[in-house]
């Protein structure tokens, strides 16, 4: 239920209220079943409509299952084969078969193969070449290539995707890291946050990407951790949930973007843990399994992953959930196996 | 999802499937393929299937034609988030040298239906880049912002247009109208900073005007994160908040009136920190700062107790006379 909550000074703030009978325990098996059954729904309208992000959808499902210690529920051979079939000649990887190559899905693909320890299924050199070619003169990254004079989208999300992907492949050296950092820093705002491009409003999702990018490139000294940390912990509303920017409703995915950013900056304890945990648990669907953006809404794999990952970061349900890496949103043990480390404050 | 089904069934009645059209007989449709081992049981709309089977075919053969262009219109209509469709459509626009102004009108319609979609906004930007004219971008983004004053894509596009075509003149006035509607609109406050910091040198007069403006809005609704953030941001371009004339009294007056907004108190803590750094009234200021932090941690902003305890500790360790 969404309502306007009276604040201290009597003026309304946006938030939700959690019903008394909302789920209050982790329904782990239900989420496992939900994710495992999701890829069977190939006849579902929603499944078909999200083909354009299938690679990310698979990454969300695989990571959620692995964090819940149920990765074997996924058919590894099938998935690896699918990923392989999505790599183009240019090296870039598309969301699905016959979808154009894109940095977003290239990262998801590399994350999937890293978790499955099957990175050799694709041509790594070509992936690296694809990413290298996306860096612009000002250090920014396009999401996909120039074709004739059609300019690609520039977005700090892509700066993150590029360095995260290259870090997983141990090939960060191929890009101009200093310039890449310079561009991200140019997106820093007066409130300490980061936006999609220079001047754009601070947004929790973009902040996660920028902070993550700076952590990967050992450049966190460009962040004011107390200032940004305060802006981030200000995302927590009375319901316990986190929003993406001031005066917006809480959403479970921000439990990840905000929390992970705070973790990287060594300030995760600035969030009221028990209140956030209560919010995330309330977003579960007791009947279908899965987690939604806010209590009572329809679930999806995206929010299921970020809800579970958020709980893991909080240190909740330690026996049932694997530790998650705050920069890559992958099981910590995968990063350890790969020998990939980032800066953490 | 029910609403989408209704729209689709009425369209199906009007249009012939591609597989039944004479002029498409030369093309072999490419069925859905989710990978070598997937067994695909297709139960979704026949029209969707038909359109995308033919889309995949022309994509494969890289057909640059009017009929392929129309096909992209249908494919985008069925799934506007499909980035491959938009990319392909742009290639055809170029290859066939199509009327970009007409395309701009078309994308305006699509954006109004799907205002939170990345692809349609990027498509619009490319068109504006190709046309190299400001066209009606300010008007269009204002239209979208009228429906959702915080639409991130709209603001981002608007900023780009203003920078590219130098359209700063009336922007502050526009931001003001939005803030009159909702003084908590963080996007509008961000835009204000964008204009002031890019279009002026943040000279004394400008900053003074902005401070006066912001203080008035704070008085109307003191518990507003955006306005306090903006105040700090704009003053900080010139000066520490402690040193800026009038702010100390402004805050103290509200505080004395028992106004316990966490943002007011946080701002006052910041001012104390500035004062302490400048070595002014160390003992009194530190005492005041720690008192404020305690109030915030234990009463006013308890959800962020750990943060306020940290700030108190940091102030004490930095500035106490031990």
Q: Over the stretch B47-85, which tens digit does the pLDDT of each residue have?
A: 888 999 999 999 999 999 999 999 999 999 999 999 999
Comparing A45 with B165, the larger pLDDT belongs to: B165
pLDDT digits (tens, 9 = 90+) for B162-201: 999 999 999 999 999 999 999 999 999 999 999 999 988 8
> How many residues does the structure list for chain A?
345
pLDDT digits (tens, 9 = 90+) for A156-178: 999 999 999 999 999 999 999 99
**Contact with chain B for residue A125, Cβ under 8 A:** no
Q: How far apart are CA A304 and CA B206, in angstroms?
A: 47
- Contacts by residues B195-201 (CB-CB < 8 Å, ≥ 24 positions apart): B195/B162, B195/B168, B195/B171, B196/B172, B196/B234, B197/A190, B197/B237, B198/A199, B198/B163, B198/B168, B199/B168, B199/B171
Residue B36 pLDDT: 45
CB contacts < 8 A, A to B, total 178
Query: Is pTM beyond 0.90 here?
Result: yes
| Centroid of chain to Cα A48 | 22
Q: How far apart are CA A112 and CA B1, in angstroms?
A: 30
- Report chain B residues whose CB lies below 8 A from the CB of A246: 184, 186, 225-226, 229
Taking all residues of chain B, what is their mean pLDDT, rounded to a whole number? 91
- Report chain A residues whose CB lies below 8 A from the CB of B193: 189-190
Q: Which residues of B235-271 are buried (b: 16+ CB within 10 A; e: fewer)?
A: bbbeebbbebeebeebbeebeeeebbbbbbbbbbbbb
Give percent helix, percent strand, percent coil of chain B, each to the nearest 5: 70, 0, 30
- Report chain A residues whose CB lies below 8 A from the CB of B44: 43-45, 48
**Confidence band (pLDDT; 50, 70, 90) for B38?**
very low
Give the catalytic positions of B in this structure.
116
- Report chain A residues whose CB lies below 8 A from the CB of B61: none
Query: Are B84 and A100 an interchain contact pair (Cβ–Cβ within 8 Å)?
Result: yes
A245: left (phi over 0), alpha (psi -120 to 50) or beta: beta
Q: Counting Cβ atoms within 10 Å, is residue B41 exposed (0-12), middle (13-18) or buried (19+)? A: exposed
Residue of A45, A153, A236 with shortest CB distance to B1: A45
Residue of B237, B300, B304 with shortest CB distance to A8: B300
Residue of A46, A100, A238 with shortest CB distance to B87: A100
Kindly list the distances between the CA atom of residue A84 and the CA atoms of A90, A97, A113, B53, in Å, as whole numbers in the listed order: 13, 10, 10, 22
Query: Are A229 and B224 an interchain contact pair (Cβ–Cβ within 8 Å)?
Result: no
Kindly list the distances between the CA atom of residue B190 and the CA atoms of A164, A228, B57, B186, in Å, as whole numbers in the listed order: 29, 16, 45, 6
The residue ranges of every structural domain in chain A are 28-39+47-144+151-338
Query: Are B159 and A200 an interchain contact pair (Cβ–Cβ within 8 Å)?
Result: yes
Say which CATH topology domain A28-39+47-144+151-338 has. Glycosyltransferase (1.50.10)
Query: Are B152 and A196 an interchain contact pair (Cβ–Cβ within 8 Å)?
Result: yes
Mean local confidence (pLDDT), A272-287: 98
- Per cent of chain B over pLDDT 70 is 91
């Amino acid at each position: 239920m969404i309502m306007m909550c009276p604040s201290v000074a009597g003026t309304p703030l946006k938030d939700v209220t959690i019903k008394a009978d909302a789920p209050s325990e982790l329904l782990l098996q239900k989420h496992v079943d939900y994710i495992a059954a999701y890829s069977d729904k190939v006849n579902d309208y929603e499944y078909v409509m999200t083909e354009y992000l299938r690679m990310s959808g698979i990454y969300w499902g695989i990571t959620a299952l692995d964090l819940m210690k149920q990765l074997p529920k996924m058919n590894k051979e099938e998935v690896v084969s699918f990923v392989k079939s999505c790599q183009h000649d240019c090296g870039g990887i598309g969301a699905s078969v016959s979808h154009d190559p894109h940095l977003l899905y290239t990262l998801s693909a590399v994350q999937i193969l890293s978790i499955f320890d099957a990175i050799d299924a694709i041509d790594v050199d070509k992936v690296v070449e694809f990413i290298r070619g996306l860096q612009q003169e000002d250090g920014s990254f396009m999401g996909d290539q120039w074709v004739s004079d059609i300019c690609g989208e520039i977005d700090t999300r892509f700066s993150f995707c590029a360095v995260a992907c290259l870090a997983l492949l141990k090939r960060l050296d191929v890009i101009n890291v200093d310039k890449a950092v310079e561009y991200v820093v140019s997106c820093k705002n007066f409130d300490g946050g980061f936006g999609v491009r220079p001047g754009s409003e601070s947004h929790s999702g973009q902040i996660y990407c920028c902070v993550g990018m700076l952590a990967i490139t050992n450049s966190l000294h460009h962040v004011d951790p107390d200032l940004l940390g305060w802006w981030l912990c200000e995302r927590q509303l009375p319901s316990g949930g986190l929003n993406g920017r001031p005066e917006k409703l809480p959403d479970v995915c921000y439990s990840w973007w905000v929390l992970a950013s705070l973790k990287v900056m060594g300030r995760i304890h600035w969030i009221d843990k028990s209140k956030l945990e209560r919010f995330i648990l309330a977003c579960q669907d007791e009947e279908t399994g899965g987690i939604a953006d806010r209590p009572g809404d329809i679930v999806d794999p995206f929010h299921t992953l970020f809800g579970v990952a958020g709980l893991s970061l909080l240190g909740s349900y330690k026996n049932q959930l694997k530790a998650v890496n705050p920069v890559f949103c992958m099981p910590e043990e995968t990063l350890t196996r790969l020998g990939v480390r980032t800066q953490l404050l | 999802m029910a609403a989408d089904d209704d729209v689709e069934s009425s369209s199906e009645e009007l249009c012939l499937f591609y597989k039944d059209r004479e002029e498409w007989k030369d093309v072999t449709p490419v069925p859905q393929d989710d990978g070598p081992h997937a067994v695909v049981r297709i139960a979704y709309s026949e029209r969707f299937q038909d359109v995308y089977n033919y889309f995949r075919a022309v994509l494969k053969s890289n057909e640059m034609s009017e009929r392929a262009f129309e096909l992209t219109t249908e494919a985008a209509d069925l799934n506007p988030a499909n980035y491959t469709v938009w990319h392909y459509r742009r290639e055809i626009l170029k290859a066939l040298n199509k009327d970009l102004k007409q395309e701009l009108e078309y994308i305006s319609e699509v954006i109004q239906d799907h205002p939170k979609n990345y692809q349609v906004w990027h498509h619009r930007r490319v068109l504006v880049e190709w046309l190299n004219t400001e066209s009606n971008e300010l008007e269009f983004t204002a239209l979208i912002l009228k429906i959702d004053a915080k639409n991130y894509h709209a603001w981002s596009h608007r900023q780009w247009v203003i920078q590219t075509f130098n359209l700063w003149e009336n922007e502050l006035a526009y931001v003001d109208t939005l803030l009159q509607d909702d003084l908590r609109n963080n996007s509008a406050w961000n835009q204000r900073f964008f204009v002031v910091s890019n279009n002026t040198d943040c000279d004394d007069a400008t900053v003074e005007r902005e401070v006066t403006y912001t203080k008035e809005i704070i008085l109307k609704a003191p518990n507003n994160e955006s306005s306090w953030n903006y105040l700090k941001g704009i003053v900080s371009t010139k000066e520490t908040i402690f040193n800026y004339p009038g702010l100390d009294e402004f805050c103290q007056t509200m505080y004395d009136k028992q106004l316990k907004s966490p943002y007011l108190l946080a701002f006052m803590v910041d001012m104390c920190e500035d004062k302490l750094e400048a070595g002014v009234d160390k003992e009194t200021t530190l005492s005041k700062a720690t008192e404020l932090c305690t109030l915030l941690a234990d009463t006013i902003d308890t959800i962020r107790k750990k943060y306020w305890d940290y700030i108190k500790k940091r102030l004490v360790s930095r500035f106490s006379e031990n």
